[in-house]
Amino acid sequence: MHRPLFALWMLIFTLGPAAAQVSIGIGLPGAGIGINVPAYPRLVRVPGYPVYYAPQMRSNYFFYDGMYWVYQRDNWYASSWYNGPWGMVRPEVVPLFVLRVPVRYYRQPPPYFRGWSSNAPPRWGAHWGSDWEQRRSGWDQWNHSAAPPPAPLPVYQRQYSGSRYPRAEQQQVMETRQYRYQPRDEVVQQHYQAQRAQSAPPPHGAAQHGQQAPKAQGQDRGAQGKERAQDSNPGQGKGKGHDRGDQQQGGDRKP
């Protein structure tokens, strides 16, 4: 069941050119993107946008629709926890409202932002080229009075910092219990589902099945031996043999 979502994750969170592809395997929080967030950041809403930014950080750090978004070293990254693990996001699938955030809210703007209007979004078409601009045609045209409401901040994450910061598989459990919000943006939904599939632990049933396989084969050989004995002595204890076999299999089953 996890294979289709894992494939989706690989499609969404890698760059197009083969030379620029990176692994999105789960690693240490914040590793690999050049930033580290030791504690839950102060987030402030961008006026008129369903997006938050971190004014006290020297990083282009945002929160939108239940996920964190970082623009670092000319790449976008996303995570459902404030300090990662992060997955790389191709320019073609960055959510529109993240792209629309004005230049002034980038706390560490790259050099090519110079000269661009601080009250307008970055000129992504000029940076990423005409192919990107054709794919995302109209990305900067929207009804400002009809912007969706912002997602609630996952403030429960404040209590997890330093050595208490959870591993990826623990994050998913905590999020399910303490943050009931589900992304509404279709693009964010894909990122969110793909990340959860990537960080999910192996199915318990599959591991258990692998451990019990040798026992099952032994039980089959024992049952075949009993059947041969019963064939040579017809009518002797056939029912009792089946009862003992059923009890043995039941006792070997693990809850």
Q: Is residue 73 assigned to a domain?
A: yes
Tokens, residue 11: 């499609």
Residue 219 has pLDDT above 70, yes or no: no
Q: Please report the pLDDT score of residue 242 as a whole number.
A: 43
| pLDDT for position 34 | 85
- What is the structure's pLDDT at 240? 44
pLDDT tens per residue, range 51-102: 999 999 999 999 999 999 999 999 999 999 999 999 999 999 999 999 999 9
CA 106 to chain centre: 24
Q: Is the pLDDT of residue 148 over 90?
A: yes
Q: Would you state the structure tokens that stand for residue 226, as one six-digit string?
A: 């009993």
Is residue 239 situated within a structural domain? no
The residue count for the chain: 255
Number of domains the chain is built from: 1
Class of residue 71 by CB neighbours under 10 A (exposed 0-12, middle 13-18, buried 19+): buried
Judge whether 219 lies within some domain: no
Pick 25 or 113 by higher pLDDT: 113
| Predicted pLDDT at 195 | 83
* Domain assignment of residue 192, yes or no: yes
Q: How far apart are CA 119 and CA 123, in angstroms?
A: 12
Closest CA to 91 of 32, 141, 135: 135
Q: List, for residues 118-137, the tens digit of each pLDDT value.
A: 999 999 999 999 999 999 99
Strands of the sheet with 51-53, listed across from one edge: 44-45, 51-53, 60-64, 67-72, 75-79, 87-89
Predicted confidence at residue 196, as pLDDT, reads 81
Residues 230 and 83: their CA atoms lie apart, in Å, by 66
Band the pLDDT of 227: cuts 50, 70, 90.
very low
Q: Which amino acid is at 172?
A: Q
Q: In whole angstroms, what is the distance from residue 112 CA to residue 117 CA?
A: 12
CB–CB of 13/87 below 8 Å?
A: yes
Examine residue 101 and state whether it is found in any structural domain, yes or no: yes
Residue 246 lies in a domain: no
Instruction: Indicate left, alpha or beta for 144 from its phi (over 0: left) and psi (-120 to 50: alpha).
Output: alpha
**pLDDT at residue number 112:** 96
> Looking at the domain assignment, is residue 20 inside a domain?
yes
230 occurs within a structural domain: no
Domain of residue 156: give its range.
2-199
Distance between CA 214 and CA 123 in Å, rounded? Answer: 61
- Model confidence, pTM: 0.69
What are the pLDDT digits (tens) for 178-206?
Answer: 998 999 999 999 998 988 887 666 665 55
Task: Express each pLDDT in 4-60 by its tens digit.
Answer: 444 444 444 443 333 233 333 333 444 468 889 999 999 999 999 999 999 999 999
